[in-house]
């Protein structure tokens, strides 16, 4: 059953290649279908493809972690598909392929298969990122993505040599001690490029600033979440937390340097891209603190971050002139940015508070200090942009009106941010389920390999 989640969007994508213009009508339908299928499925099931049992064949694993990640990713796609204005002509087909590959990336229980889906995701992302205004950014992304893919593949090969299998569960149980460091390093490089870790992710600001709102929105929310899920799956479920201490250091560097780099940007979307980098660093370093709670709070913060970024990126890419003409969009933007900074009453405050408390309870005083320092800088530039957009006087430039459906969705997401700020249980429960699935590796192994 869970294979349908990959097949339907993929098939729809290929079928609609001749009718590119019509594809934007089919996109919401496909996403709704996958969501309905997802809701009909129950977690904790493993599907062996082609009847080949694990560890010999490819399996699709639907445990509580992948279930809730799929839910998040598909809801993000649904929201985007309901805003056809931001999808450029002909990109709906690419979005369908991207949906298939992200779903596959979340579901798969096989390291080579995950490489394939990672590459499809990357290819779809290159296409989306490529626009006439910004070919060089997409080209850089292409090169870097190719290199990272090669490293990921090398990691998969070494894992195969070390265990004789490509199955995640099998690798986690049987990998030889000597192979673990090299596999972890190679995969860290491979995923690091996509998950925006500091010196590896040079592509982010150029690609996000591609000129079309779709690129930053989809890459900064749906794809980011998928990659973060993959990161958790590999480094927590498969490697049992090995290598996380290294990730912690890189995460801290990412936070500080990302925020500092954002300070100097004079384009809103680039500043937000750097903020996205820094937040990814925060999520990674929180997860790397280790332990169930850390993973839970890390994904909770990630959920808050993508909710805020969805609003911020759409508005930043469509109207970066002033808010006095578009009050609803302006209010949504401000709410999202307050959440990003972490003012009380907004969602970001809850997750930052929990992360601080957790770090202190682990006697880690570095992370809180770094987070608070970064937040001061973030507050400076995010609020500067808010003031600039609310109080700008020049209305001479072209006035872009946001249509009602985009406004409505943005407002709903903004209200959701406030709702989470007051009653965080909804997101916390999701994060908890993801953390459950990721940390419970014994259940994962028995689930996949069938009680060895």
Residues of this chain that interact with other proteins (CB under 8 A) are 139-140, 143-144, 147-148, 151, 181, 185, 188-189, 192-193, 198-200, 202-206, 246, 250, 257, 259-265, 338, 343-345, 349-350, 353, 356-357, 360-361, 363, 365, 368-369, 372-373, 375-377, 379-380, 383-384, 387-388, 390-391
Q: How far is the CB of 271 from other proteins (least distance, A)?
A: 10
Which residues fall within 8 angstroms of residue 70, CB to CB, at 6 or more apart? 5, 38, 62, 103, 106, 107
Q: How far is the CB of 91 from other proteins (least distance, A)?
A: 24
Please name which of 137, 311, 321, 285 lies closest in space to residue 211, comparing C-alpha atoms.
137
Q: How far is the CB of 322 from other proteins (least distance, A)?
A: 13
Q: How far is the CB of 423 from other proteins (least distance, A)?
A: 10
- How far apart are the C-alpha atoms of 444 and 168, rounded to whole Å? 9
- How far apart are the C-alpha atoms of 42 and 46, rounded to whole Å? 11
Minimum CB distance to other proteins smaller for 48 or for 379? 379
> How many Å is the Cα radius of gyration of the chain?
21
Q: How far is the CB of 297 from other proteins (least distance, A)?
A: 13
Q: Are 421 and 345 in contact (CB under 8 A)?
A: yes
Q: How far is the CB of 404 from other proteins (least distance, A)?
A: 20
Minimum CB distance to other proteins smaller for 310 or for 341? 341
Q: How far is the CB of 181 from other proteins (least distance, A)?
A: 6
Minimum CB distance to other proteins smaller for 27 or for 197? 197
Minimum CB distance to other proteins smaller for 43 or for 202? 202
What burial class does residue 451 get, using C-beta atoms within 10 Å of its C-beta: 0-12 exposed, 13-18 middle, 19+ buried?
Answer: exposed
Q: How far is the CB of 192 from other proteins (least distance, A)?
A: 8
């Amino acid at each position: 059953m869970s294979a349908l989640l990959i097949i339907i969007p993929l098939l729809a994508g290929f079928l609609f290649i001749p009718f590119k213009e019509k594809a934007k009508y089919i996109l919401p339908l496909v996403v709704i279908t996958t969501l309905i299928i997802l809701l009909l499925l129950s977690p904790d099931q493993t599907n062996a493809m082609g009847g080949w049992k694990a560890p010999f064949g490819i399996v699709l694993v639907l445990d509580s972690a992948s279930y809730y990640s799929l839910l998040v990713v598909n809801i993000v796609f649904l929201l985007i598909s309901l805003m056809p204005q931001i999808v450029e002509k002909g990109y709906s087909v690419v979005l369908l392929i991207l949906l298939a590959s992200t779903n596959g990336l979340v579901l798969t229980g096989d390291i080579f298969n995950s490489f394939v889906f990672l590459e499809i995701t990357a290819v779809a992302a290159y296409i989306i990122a490529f626009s006439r205004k910004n070919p060089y950014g997409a080209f850089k992304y292409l090169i870097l993505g190719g290199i990272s893919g090669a490293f990921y593949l090398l990691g998969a090969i070494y894992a195969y040599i070390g265990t004789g299998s490509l199955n995640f569960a099998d690798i986690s149980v049987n990998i030889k001690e000597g192979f673990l460091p090299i596999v972890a390093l190679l995969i860290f490089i491979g995923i690091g490029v996509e998950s925006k870790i500091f010196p590896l992710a040079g592509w982010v600001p150029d690609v996000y600033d591609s000129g079309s709102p779709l690129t930053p929105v989809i890459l900064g929310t749906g794809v980011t979440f998928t990659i973060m899920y993959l990161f958790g799956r590999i480094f927590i479920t498969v490697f049992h937390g090995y290598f996380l201490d290294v990730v912690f250091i890189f995460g801290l560097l990412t936070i500080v340097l990302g925020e500092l780099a954002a300070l100097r940007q004079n384009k809103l979307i680039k500043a937000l891209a750097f903020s996205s980098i820094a937040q990814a660093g925060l999520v990674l370093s929180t997860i790397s603190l280790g332990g169930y709670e850390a993973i839970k709070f890390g994904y909770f913060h990630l959920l808050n971050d993508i909710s805020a970024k969805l609003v911020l990126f759409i508005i930043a890419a469509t109207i970066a002139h002033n808010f006095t003409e578009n009050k609803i969009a302006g209010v949504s933007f401000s709410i999202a940015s307050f959440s990003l900074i972490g003012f009380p009453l907004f969602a970001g405050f809850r997750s930052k508070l929990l992360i601080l408390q957790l770090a202190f309870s682990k006697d880690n005083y570095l992370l809180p200090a770094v987070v608070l320092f970064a937040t001061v800088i973030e507050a400076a530039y995010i609020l500067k942009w808010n003031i600039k957009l609310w109080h700008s006087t020049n209305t001479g430039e072209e006035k872009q009106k946001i249509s009602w459906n985009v406004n409505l969705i943005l407002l709903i997401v903004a209200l959701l941010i406030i709702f989470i700020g007051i009653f965080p249980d909804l997101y916390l429960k999701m994060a908890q389920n993801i953390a459950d699935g990721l940390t419970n590796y014994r259940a994962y192994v028995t689930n996949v390999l069938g009680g060895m």
